[in-house]
Structure 1
Amino acid sequence: MPWQAGISLLVLACAGWLAHRHWPAVAAGAGRLAGADPGWLLVAATAAGGTWAASALAQQGATTTPLPRGRLLAVQFAAASANHVLPSGFGASAVNLRFLTRCGLPVPRAATALAVKGGAGAVSRGCLIALLGLTCPGALRIPRVTADAWTMAGCTAAVVLAAGTAVLLTAPARRALRRLLADVRAVHERPARAAALWGGSLASPALHCAVVVAVTQAVGLPLPPARAALAFLAASSAAVLLPTPGVVGSLDAALALALILAGAPPSAAASTVLGYRLLTSWLPLVPGLLTLGALIRRRVV
């Protein structure tokens, strides 16, 4: 936690410095967002609300234990707000883990359900990136690197692979892996659960892309929807590597950079980032935290 807090503060400081340095573009983006098309903003807000339903669907599909639907949806709404307060991914995972244990799952099974959901989400995001990459040829370019860089990357991959193999050789890791594989097999033996898992996992990033695309249409950004969605997926995948709360700062900078590289003017890119953050983070933050408090008082989490 101290290391994550230090990295978070560093990233936020860098984001603040970048915002100060490029303040004219940020101010122009805010003004452009203020005059955006309300119809497209309504579409974006609807898609943002759908992300919580998709997350609830994927979480139910990740376990064979039936979960109360209303509470599950409320927990996803609260977990999204908790994710913007604690380091990236930790808040939502902690809230969902607590909810699953309250529903009667043992802690190992609850953790496995979170791992199944996370794995399906990563695979789904990769499939969407590959699909959009095929529809937008040339949008994703592999940078040229030197032979020394390839050697260093190969050595790093070898070290990581060796460390992962050493961890998997331990008895607790083998038990956890067997438990994970057993739960994956049990979920996929039920077609309804498998459909919920993969449907929700695909719908969640697709709906986030829909928010970005709708905001670009609202502010009149001259960028094809597929390219805007691909820019968001690439930026959000890179931003996850920095453990800031809600990937604040890292996602903002990465998304703005990705949109500019895709051909968007800086002011339009800034307005898109502000609109996306407004609908998915800032407006739901306080209601989500209030919902989390109510769920805690009622011992739902």
Structure 2
Amino acid sequence: MTSEQVTVAPTRRRAYWHTGVLLAVVVAAGWLARRHWPVLETGALRLAVADQGWLLVGAAAAGLTWACAALAQQGAVIRRLPPGRLVATQFAACAANHVLPAGLGAGAVNLRFLMRCGLSAGRSATAVAVKATAGGIARSALIVVLAAACPGILRMPHISGLSSVSGGWAVVFATVLCVALLLGMRWWSRCRPALAAVLADIKAIHARPRRAAALWGGSLAFAALHALVLIAVTRAVALPLAPARVALLYLAASSAAVLLPTPGGLGSLDAALGLALASAGAPAAAAASAVLGYRLLTMWLPLVPGLLVLGVLIRRKAL
């Protein structure tokens, strides 16, 4: 067996696994949609007669998310990137993210763009990872702040026997942690040079206040604007929830949906967001309208234009 065959085999297995998970989620989403079709139909009709002004606010916020993503990506790189192509790349990356699972689309597009701009593969991968990490930290910080401002919104349901289940999961977690530490100690000598290079790049970024401000400011604004899109849609459909609560529910639901590697959170984000809004006291039809409106502005409407921009960038060898 050649080295190429050895490399291709794990890649095919990962592709099969991602495809299987995607199909399972799509089938589950279709089953739920069929079961709750009256609620979805009512929600769609309610969205059709929603306040157009608030929907325009949501559309504007959705458009600004690509500029914030570009700002964050520039903040993760010392070299100055071409601003026009950078924003276009984020728009295309958003569309690619809705096609490939677990954020692979956006990461691959940004990685290719940075390499086309002259960065090495290692530094490009570091920049993409730094941006993703900053986004996760910014989202967590917003959740903490909003949870403190809106106490009682995020709470775990009481389940009988939860303590015994938690104890079992604690043992599993401790075992996984020990295995990870052992593997880390074994591979530390080989990974140390790569980790040193990554840390050097991170220090260099934060040694420049403008780059650090772009990285963290863009990451915070990206998460906040997505929450604003949902807030605008809830206002458009007259959903009776405070904006701070809606933002907190969105951030928590979107963080939970990341656990399922589906393209753009298809099925997982919709279910988590609808469940979060309904559990906060929103009527089922209004919650469905809000989720449909949010997905329309952030996924379905930009999808085809984003794929067209992606094709243009590839044809012009910008990716």
Cα separation, 1, equivalents of 2:205 and 2:273: 35
Residue of 291, 295, 300 corresponding to 2:313: 295
Residue of 66, 87, 104 corresponding to 2:101: 87
Unaligned stretches of 5+ residues in structure 2:
1-14
Deviates more, 1:135-144 or 1:28-37: 135-144
Matched residue type, 1:66: R
Matched residue type, 1:118: A
Q: What SS is found at the alignment partner of 1:241? A: coil
Contact kept, 8 Å, 1:116 with 1:180, in 2: the verdict is no
Deviates more, 1:160-169 or 1:281-290: 160-169
Residues 210-261 of structure 1, C-alpha deviations (whole Å, 9 max, x = no match): 0000000000000111111111111111111111111101101110000000
Aligned ranges 1:190-269 → 2 under 5 Å: 190-269=208-287
Cα separation, 2, equivalents of 1:142 and 1:198: 30
Give the deviation of 1:297 after TM superposition: 0.6
Q: What SS is found at the alignment partner of 2:290? A: helix
Q: Which residue of 1 aligns with 2:177?
A: 161
User: What is the identity percentage for the equivalent residue pairs of Structure 1 and Structure 2?
Assistant: 61
Give the deviation of 1:167 after TM superposition: 4.0
Contact kept, 8 Å, 1:167 with 1:173, in 2: the verdict is no
Cα separation, 2, equivalents of 1:174 and 1:76: 32
**Is residue 282 from structure 1 mapped to residue 296 from structure 2 by the alignment?**
no
Q: Which residue of 2 aligns with 1:177?
A: 195
**Is residue 141 from structure 1 mapped to residue 155 from structure 2 by the alignment?**
yes
Unaligned stretches of 5+ residues in structure 1:
none
Residues 105-160 of structure 1, C-alpha deviations (whole Å, 9 max, x = no match): 11111001011111111110000001110111100113446332222221222133
**Is residue 103 from structure 1 mapped to residue 133 from structure 2 by the alignment?**
no
Cα separation, 2, equivalents of 1:167 and 1:291: 42
Q: What SS is found at the alignment partner of 1:88? A: helix
Matched residue type, 2:289: S
**Is residue 53 from structure 1 mapped to residue 67 from structure 2 by the alignment?**
yes
Q: Which residue of 2 aligns with 1:116?
A: 130
- Judged with a 3 Å threshold, the aligned counterparts in structure 2 of structure 1 residues 182 and 168 are, in CA distance, closer, same or farther, namely farther
Q: Which residue of 1 aligns with 2:47?
A: 33
Contact kept, 8 Å, 1:168 with 1:174, in 2: the verdict is no
Matched residue type, 2:99: V
Cα separation, 2, equivalents of 1:167 and 1:191: 36
Cα separation, 2, equivalents of 1:215 and 1:287: 22
Question: What TM-score do the two structures reach when normalised by structure 2?
Answer: 0.92
Matched residue type, 1:13: V
Cα separation, 1, equivalents of 2:180 and 2:73: 27
Residues 158-205 of structure 1, C-alpha deviations (whole Å, 9 max, x = no match): 133223323433144333322221111110000000000000010011
Residues 54-111 of structure 1, C-alpha deviations (whole Å, 9 max, x = no match): 1000000011111110000000000000001111200000000000000111111100
Cα separation, 2, equivalents of 1:158 and 1:176: 27
Cα separation, 1, equivalents of 2:39 and 2:163: 38
Matched residue type, 1:210: L
Cα separation, 2, equivalents of 1:229 and 1:253: 16
Cα separation, 2, equivalents of 1:168 and 1:49: 42
Deviates more, 1:138-147 or 1:73-82: 138-147
RMSD, aligned CA: 1.1
Matched residue type, 2:295: R
